[in-house]
Amino acid sequence: MSARLDGQVALVTGAASGMGAAIVRRFCAEGARVHAAGLQPALLRALAQATGASAWPCDIADDRAVRALLEAVVGAHGRVDILVNAAGIIHEDDGATIDDAVWQKTLDVNLGGAMRVCRAALPVMQRQRAGVILNIASVAAFNASAGMASYAASKAGLIAFTRTLANRYGAEGIRANCLAPGWVRTPMSEMEMRAAGAARGIGVEEAFAALTDRIALRRVGTAEEMAACAVFLVSDEASFVTGAVLVADGGARVPASARAG
């Protein structure tokens, strides 16, 4: 690895599995001192042992827990250089039948959770006059599928929130961007495909395969590919990039299904 993040202090939420865990692995390989936060202590410990990261069980829906997490990270290093908000949940729902509790929970984790962690980290970054925030959104913010009402709303809100941060704190040396993945093979997407496949009488692998006709590259992405995008956005190579949304969906937003062959 190129050690593009050598010596940087990074905090990654949603780090126990999927894209969050892949980002932790890549950041560690790039030389960062990474604090991995999430809700699954056993997975976090295993990740920490494998990578050298520090494991921090934390519920980002709990503001006191978030503030304690930031205090611990700052207490250990005196600063936070990189913040990645990768924590998120998904629940199938529909505009006519949305359950208030599901709507509130989805927004409270996907949008509210990122807000809480940013709110706790921003004063530290302001004192440093430097810092990078990367929020993991989704292409669902732009072209949501049926049954993704609360999830899509939360991710669209996250993009808008990120752009307000970029606008407000850019003059203080703080950058804020979003990564918007498309279909990526993670435990969350496998759960979605299991449900979709069951409704059609097919298995998870068949359900994933059926997606590829709608993707220009004819495959789903990997968590490692998203981690590579994340490294770029938080590194000095993207020093003039802020308020941006990097869509990494394999070309699913182009009319792949309309092409011959």
**pLDDT tens track for 36-63:** 999 999 999 999 999 999 999 999 999 9
* Catalytic-role residue among 17, 122, 137, 151: 151
- Helices of type H across the chain: 18-29, 41-51, 63-77, 100-107, 114-128, 149-169, 187-200, 204-211, 223-234
Active site residue 169: no
If DSSP codes are grouped into helix, strand and coil, which group holds residue 95?
Answer: coil
pLDDT of the residue at 258: 43
Q: What is the pLDDT of residue 255?
A: 54
Which pLDDT score, from 0 to 100, does residue 193 have?
64
Q: What are phi and psi of 37, to 5 degrees?
A: -115, 145
Q: How confident is the model over 150-170, as a mean pLDDT? A: 97
Taking the model in full, what pTM does it have?
0.92
Q: How many other C-beta atoms lie within 10 A of the C-beta of residue 14?
A: 28
Which domains are assigned to the chain?
A: 9-183+222-248 (3.40.50.720), 184-219 (no CATH)
Q: How confident is the model at residue 92 (pLDDT cuts 50, 70, 90)?
A: confident
The shares of helix, strand and coil residues in the chain, as percent rounded to the nearest 5, are 50, 15, 30
Q: What is the pLDDT of residues 99-124, one digit of tens each?
A: 999 999 999 999 999 999 999 999 99
